Amino acid sequence: MNISATNMSFYDSGTNRVEDLFGRMTLEEKIGQMVQIDRSVATVNIMRDYFIGSVLSGGGSAPLPEATAQNWVDMINEHQKGALGSRLGIPMIYGIDAVHGHNNVYNATIFPHNVGLGATRDPDLVKRIGAATAVEVRATGIPYTFAPCIAVCRDPRWGRCYESYSEDHKAVEDMTDVILGLQGEPPANYKHGIPFVGGRDKVAACAKQYVGDGGTTRGVNENNTVTDLHGLLSVHMPAYADAIYKGVSTVMVSYSSWNGEKMHTNTELITGYLKGTLKFKGFVISDWQGVDKISTPPHTNYTASVRAAIQAGIDMLMNISATNMSFYDSGTTLLGAVKSAVDQSTEVVFRKNPDAEFIKSNNFAYAIVAVGEPTYAETAGDSDKLTMLEPGPAIISSTCQAVKCVVVVISGRPVVMEPYVASIEALVAAWLPGTEGQGITDAFFGDHGFSGKLLVTWFRNTEQLPMSYGDSHYDPLFSYWSGLETESVESIVARSTSGSATSTKPCLITVLVSATICLFLFPRYHHQFQLPF
């Protein structure tokens, strides 16, 4: 029997099993199956006695500090033991935010975030990242990830813009290939739109957050997206259609509203459009405490909120009590990567905040200045100013006027740069790039060329916002699709010598490395993004 027939047989038998169980379930058991609780409140008894359908790890929620893969498996098996001990023995599904790698887990690979991956415009790359992430997630016993985010960020003031691949919905559509990496490639005769997970090293994916979360007024997180139906369907909806076509298993609903109506209660868009028009056959899950936030203030008249969410078409309620966020800092810093990349005869001097006198008193050949935003997530990142973390601007001014410098911007979105570009030799947008600093230095020192392009508009000043490619007032500092392409040193030498013998001499270069942000780490991937000045 071929693979596709086997999959179809498995699907049919699974459907029969679900129908059999559903016919025998009590109302309490059905309700329990629609609930997803955090691991911090899950016990064997709770799982068994309340028929809980799903457990998740909220941000940073882990079984132990620096937990091993076996620690994760043991914890999840314990929760599963409770679920299987219930009257009908229905297994639970465990979910986690593995949004750019298995980022809650110690020593896992953390890949560049979506804003940086979008600049590669390389669907095959994100598919391979999805596949690598799936292997690491399954290694910890988890079959479900709340990824990918397929928002279309239309305003960089939004605190979650780093989760968006692009301001261009077509680019976001291309990058939904990450789903094929996470879940696997459906067989040739697969019926598109049916959820598909293709093996023991794959995971169920979740397209989020449905729909329009990247278009809120002034980029305020969880707020109101004001646009007509055509605007919603033409900008924010296409990536969901692509995700469903590629077999995505679940869809998460957005905290935001559309023209004043909370998405968590929007029957027209959840039941009508998502399940009706787009024929989505997977399950729809709320965002964390999204049902609580239906009311103002949150959690008032909770019974009515639950009823409204379920009647709108939400199948599972995620409700945990978000907020401890952990970040495991194993990896290679930019400084460590520079030191490992240069010749032993090269002197590398590090200063966190060098003053002008220090720079002038040393004979530096070059300076690498790392600046950017402070760490944040979600609403905490909402910003009207979009300025660099101090003393970044002062360091650029004092350093780049005294020595040739390359400025590395580590951020989740474009930030104010126009006042400083005149003094900068080169500007590199590194975005939020993961755990391996060699990805930056590979391009710095010519092992690989720069190749990325901007898939978001880099504004001149915040008074221009919102501003996207094609707008009548479009006048950016760096436009959509900007970016210099460079060759590797190897290819340049090969072309220039054309086989002739050359001789090289060692030289002494002193490099100043200045950083105002020391906690960010960098990627191994070679898709980096150099911008003109």
Q: Which residues are catalytic?
A: 287, 378
Length of the chain: 533
The two tokens of residue 520 are 């960010």
- Site of tokens 């360091």: 395
Q: Please enumerate in sequence order all residues whose Cβ is within 8 A of that of 340, keeping only pairs 6 or more positions apart, or say none.
A: 332, 438, 441
Distance CA 137, CA 145 (A): 8
For residue 92, the SS3 value is coil
DSSP string, 450-470: -----SS-B-S-GGG-S--TT
Q: Prior bond to 211 cis, omega within 30?
A: yes
User: What number of other Cβ atoms are within 10 A of residue 349's Cβ?
Assistant: 14
* Amino acid residing at 414: P
Q: In what order do the strands lie in the sheet with 144-145?
A: 144-145, 93-96, 54-57, 35-38, 317-318
Q: Please enumerate in sequence order all residues whose Cβ is within 8 A of that of 492, keeping only pairs 6 or more positions apart, or say none.
A: 446
Q: Output the 3-class SS for 472-516.
A: CCCCCCECCCCCCCCCCHHHHHHHHHCCCCCCCCCCCCEEEEEEC
Q: Which letter, b or e, does each residue of 22-35 get, where b requires 16 or more Cβ atoms within 10 Å of its Cβ?
A: eeebeeebebbbbb
CB 251, CB 282: distance < 8 Å: yes
Distance CA 142, CA 474 (A): 45
* Amino acid residing at 169: H
- Site of tokens 């994916």: 205
* Amino acid residing at 345: S
Distance CA 369, CA 348 (A): 13
Report the run of H or E that residue 288 belongs to, with start and end.
none
Distance of CA 516 to the CA centre of its chain: 24
Q: Give backbone dihedrals phi and psi of 431, rounded to 5 degrees, phi first.
A: 55, -140
Closest among 158, 102, 107 to 131, alpha carbons compared: 102
Q: Which letter, b or e, does each residue of 237-273 get, where b requires 16 or more Cβ atoms within 10 Å of its Cβ?
A: bbbbbbbbbbbbbbbbbbbbbbeeebbbbbeebbeeb
Q: Prior bond to 466 cis, omega within 30?
A: yes
Distance CA 48, CA 43 (A): 8
For residue 350, the SS3 value is strand
Sign of CA dihedral 329, 335, 336, 341: positive
